[in-house]
Amino acid sequence: MKKFFSALCAAALTAAVFAPAALAYQGPSVSCEAYIVMDADTGQVIMEKNADEVLYPASITKIMTMALALEKAQGQLDTQLTVSYEAVHQLEYGSSHIALQEGEVVRLEDVLYGTELESANDGANVLAEYIGGTIQGGVDAMNAKAAALGLANTHYMNPHGLHDDQHYTTARDMAVITRWALSVPGFEDIFCRTDPWTMEPTNKQPQQRVFHCTDWMRISGDYLRSYAKGSKNGFHDQALTTFVNYAEQNGIRLISVELKCQRLEDKFRDACAILDYAFENFSKVEIPAPDEAFQVPVVGGGEALGNALVQPQSATALLNKNLSTDGITVDYQIPDQYVLGQPFEASVTYTLPENDYQPSALGSAQLSVSGIDEVLAASTYVPASSLQPDKNPVGIAVAAAAAVLALVLGMRLWRKAGAKRTPSGPTPAQWEIITRKPLPAEPAPWEKEKDKTPPRSNTKPAGRD
């Protein structure tokens, strides 16, 4: 892997979830032990305090539970679920619930809204059984998803968040979980509902059950905010009060997490102070793509076929009004070569100078790759195994053409699959770069005279291993 180190960008920012050690940046005064503010579109962290401190989540655990259930449902919210004995009775006395009964047949959608709006622990148990077959199976799926998201500081012991010493998370992990949950079809509708939800009578319950939103930031009072779109809260004696918010204003979508607030009212006061400050002090910055580009050899069957072009695109990010884009550093990470049929991921990372207003590590973004189709179109490389000596020359030509066509189609399929791995957020942009020289590039096949056949070799490019 080649690393191209650069310095003194004129302008650059990006979207990603990398941050330095937990620090308290200048911002509002809050009582919570830890908090974080993340751009919901890009994952960029713009504010934080003790964001990596391991704490108890309480009922914000249910964000993971609900999202996994919706991911499995694939829009089939009319799915009928039968409430088990364990779902009802594996709860401590006084636990929040929606009065589910053993043997009751309920709709998945009703259980989801009961879990969100009433923070129903019996509902969370039912969802866990739906996800994993048993409550423990659902918990195992939750831990597997946390691991898949790269979260080393989150561990679940149950699907609802009741206290267990081994049931924990961090503000940063919760923001990542919530950002993923918002990408699951149907989650945002449930997470953002403020109107009451009515659950119709079932085989066990002859009366309707009505669930209500209790988020003061979205319904009424001194903490009402027009930017507040969705939330989930939690509480128990060890976690104290926890709160996750989703907010949107002027095209900026934010996720905030507050952990270990002392009192019920504190979580609303802290969330309002944090988000008021964020929307007032951060703005979206559009940055054009830089002129810098790198050539990377394209290799197939052990031969160098030509060169691909690797370059960044434009970027969008959030910047505190007290900062400028001067002095940002850039680090390119580009593989030595592009091997056909193998993943190729080139990226660039960005860092702000140390400051008191937002995290310095801004993250990384993928670089675009172009010129592959032209390399393949100009290449005369044909796998030796496709050629049959002492056969009809026409057959040999057909086999060679088929091999080239398969190579082109395979490359296009690989590029299509690779696009799925590219982050949907913005990529970096315009800056003046001081760096090592780009990789030396040999002339591309199409740049040679048309009446000359590009050389073929069974050796790898010089200097590569």
Indicate the annotated binding residues: 232
Angle at 40 between CA 35 and CA 44, to 5 degrees: 70
Strands 294-300 and 303-311, sheet pairing: antiparallel
Cα separation, 135 vs 128, in Å, equals 5
* CA distance to 297, 305, 336, 379, per residue, from 375 (Å): 10, 6, 17, 6
Q: Does the active-site annotation cover 391?
A: no
Q: Which of 6, 84, 96, 119 is catalytic?
A: 119
* CA distance to 109, 169, 233, 254, per residue, from 40 (Å): 25, 19, 18, 5
Q: Which of 6, 49, 62, 96 is catalytic?
A: 62
Q: In the Cβ-directed half-sphere of 8, how many Cα atoms lie within 13 Å? A: 4
8-28 burial code (b ≥16 CB/10 A, e <16): ebebbbbbbbbbeebeeeebb
Name the token pair of 362.
Answer: 């801004």
Strand, helix or coil for residue 101:
coil
Q: Which of 6, 59, 231, 364 is catalytic?
A: 59
Give the closest residue to 175 by CA, choosing from 307, 31, 41. Answer: 41
Q: Which residues are known binding-site members for substrate?
A: 232
**φ, ψ at 48 (rounded to 5°):** -165, 155
**φ, ψ at 102 (rounded to 5°):** -60, 130
Contact 55, 33 (CB under 8 A): yes
Contacts of the segment 135-139: beta carbons below 8 A, 24+ positions apart: 135/86, 135/87, 135/90, 135/159, 138/65, 138/68
Contact 9, 239 (CB under 8 A): no
Q: Does the active-site annotation cover 59?
A: yes
Q: Does the active-site annotation cover 62?
A: yes
190 exposure class (CB count in 10 Å sphere: 0-12, 13-18, 19+): buried
Give the closest residue to 95 by CA, choosing from 133, 122, 130. Answer: 122
Give the residue numbers marked as catalytic: 59, 62, 119
